[in-house]
Amino acid sequence: MKISLLTGALLLSTAVLAQAQQAGKPEDTEVYEPVPKVVTASPNLATPPSDALVLFDGKDLSQWVMADDRNAPAKWKVSGGMFTVDKTTGNIETKKAFTNYQLHLEWRIPANISGTGQARGNSGVFLASLGKGDLGYELQIVDSYQNKTYVNGMAGSIYKQRVPLANPARKPGEWQSYDVVWMAPTFKADGSVQTPARVTVFFNGVLVQNNVELAGPTRYIGPPSYEGQKAGPAPIKLQAHGDKSEPDSFRNIWVREL
C-alpha cells in the first residue's frame, strides 16, 4: 500500500513536470519590445490627448479649407468657442489628409431647429473626403431625437449603408459627440479591393458602429461600390447640407493618426 502510494505520487509529479516543460517558461510569452509610446491622457474626450492633432480648439478654422476650392480658407463662422455651418459657402474639409485615425468631434443641432426627417439639422462627417460635393464616406449628422427618418440615414448611421446599433441622440440644443476609429480601404495593384474600409463609432459614448465593413463610399442613389476608388490619405470633410433648417455647430475636434 505504502509503495503503491509513493509510486503514484512519483508518477503524478513526473506528469506535472512533463507538462510544465512542454509549456515552457512564463518568460517565453512575455513581450518587451517595441515599447508603446507614452501619451499623456486627458481628463475627458473633449480635451485632446498629448499626441493628438487639434483640428479645432475654439479659436479659428486654420486647419480647414473649402472643400470645393482647397486654396480658399474655410468660411464658416467661428464664435463663442464653436463654429457654425454656413450653408451659403459649401462643405469644408481638413487641410491635412489622413489614412487610419481616431477622431473626436462634438456637434450641436440648434435648440430652435425646424424641419422634419432629413431636413432637420442635416450635416455630416465625411470620414474620407473624395473631392468636391458630398463625395466620401458619410457619418450622418441629423436631428434623431424623436425625429423620424429612414434608419440608415439617422444620426450614427453610415449614410444609406449601416444602421446604428442604438439611438443615443440628445435633444436639439445639447452638445453631442462622435468618437470614431477609421480604417481606410486598401487596394491591389489592379485596383480591386484588398481590404474594405472599416469603421467604429461611439455616439455620445454609446457604441453605434462596431468595426463594420463598408461596401464603398456613400451614394445618395444606388448601392455603394469601390469602383474607381483610389488608395491613400484623404481629408475629413464636414457637410453644408442644402436643407432649409437652422445650421449646426461644432467644437472640440481632434484626431490621432494610427
| Interacting residues with Mg ion (CB under 5 A) | 122, 124, 239
The CA distances from residue 4 to 10, 15, 173, 216, in Å, are 10, 16, 81, 71
CB of 28 to Mg ion, least distance (A): 52
Judged by beta carbon, residue 134 or residue 183, the one nearer Mg ion is 134
CB of 124 to Mg ion, least distance (A): 3
Judged by beta carbon, residue 122 or residue 129, the one nearer Mg ion is 122
Judged by beta carbon, residue 124 or residue 235, the one nearer Mg ion is 124
Residue 247 has what DSSP assignment? P
CB of 140 to Mg ion, least distance (A): 5
Q: Which three cell numbers stand for residue 114?
A: 425646424
CB of 138 to Mg ion, least distance (A): 6
DSSP secondary structure of 190-236: TS-EEE--EEEEEETTEEEEEEEE-SSS--SSS----TT---S-B--
Cα 17 to Cα 119: distance, rounded to the nearest angstrom: 71
CB of 134 to Mg ion, least distance (A): 8
Judged by beta carbon, residue 78 or residue 119, the one nearer Mg ion is 119
Cα 132 to Cα 43: distance, rounded to the nearest angstrom: 37
Judged by beta carbon, residue 101 or residue 126, the one nearer Mg ion is 126
Quickly count: other Cβ atoms within 10 Å of residue 239's Cβ.
26
| 3-state secondary structure (DSSP) of residue 251 | strand
Cα 196 to Cα 211: distance, rounded to the nearest angstrom: 11
Judged by beta carbon, residue 204 or residue 239, the one nearer Mg ion is 239
CB of 170 to Mg ion, least distance (A): 18
Indicate the residue whose CB is closest to Mg ion. 124
Distance of CA 247 to the CA centre of its chain: 22
> In 3-state terms, the chain is what percent helix, strand and coil (to 5)?
10, 35, 55
